[in-house]
Amino acid sequence: MTQPTDRVTVADGVDLDAKIAGDRGAPTVILLHGFPESAYSWRHQIPALADAGWRVIAPDQRGYAHSAQPEGVAAYRADHLCDDVIALLDHDGADQAVVIGHDWGAIVTWHIAQRHPDRCRGIIAASVPYTPWPDTPTTVLRHQHGDDFFYINYFQEPDVPEAELDADPERFLRAIIHVASGEGMATLAGGSLPAAGTGCTEYFEHIAGGRPLDLPPWLSPADLAVYTEQFTHSGFGPAINWYRNLDANHELFSPIGESTITMPTGFIAGAVDPVILTRPGYVEQMNERLPHHRGNTLLPGIGHWVQQEDPAGFNQAMFDLLATM
């Protein structure tokens, strides 16, 4: 990407790198990435939005790439992640923005709509629909998966998962990117593995039917090299700390529910994204639960990495939603 990178202080000692494009004072869009990604995941959207007259802010969120890595699990709680976004808007002089988030960025987007509704001109979630958990998330996930390995349950363990992933970032990235992509979802091979003694990379390679050797056509070796360098620099611990706050986030935000999500909302995902395939009904529920929901777009044959796998399809759906906000 050719957009300049700004270094913005969002809290005491927390500096974030952010790609910023478009004219200051234009309507603002902020793009929030997921795991295991960075602002680089929006490389196909940043120039398109700027060319269309939007001011674009795409941060490497706290703990990612070369942004700050505050110590302690609680530093990655969702209220802090939301407030980082508001600080970025304040720094840029923007009263409101359309917040667009993918994966974990989508979760933060929903929480921003709950915590800072007055700053949201609209929100667009990619991959993760609005999800009102019936109990604490780790309780639900442990009940669903029992004694089988599941990466979010594995990420609750202290120290172990980051030690595994930090040992070979590229191998893990190849595995998870392949499995959750449209190409990987079409060729899933292995079944479940026991939670005890199973590592994350081992699990993803197992369900892929072996170690993926080829990259999907939408991800170049240069793209993979960017992510590999970023996670080699940051390590995976800070990003995994986001997962360790799922229950704390539930405690903070479940009392609010959808009561403040009254701004225009929209949803985009790949039709074979494993996130929505494992949450039947949640996509459709948004049409009923959210009073100004502008609709859902599911892109055929596309997996989890929706804005990278199908930039043209994603951008068309994104601009269609922006036109209503």
Q: Which residues are catalytic?
A: 103, 304
Q: Are 189 and 207 in contact (CB under 8 A)?
A: yes
Measured torsion, CA atoms of residues 230, 275, 45, 323, in degrees rounded to the nearest 10: -150
Q: What angle do CA 319, 321, 322 make, to 5 degrees?
A: 60
DSSP 156: T
Let me know if 147 is exposed, middle or buried by CB neighbors in 10 A (0-12, 13-18, 19+): exposed
d(CA 24, CA 142): 46
Secondary structure class of 206 (helix, strand, coil)? helix
Q: Are 48 and 103 in contact (CB under 8 A)?
A: no
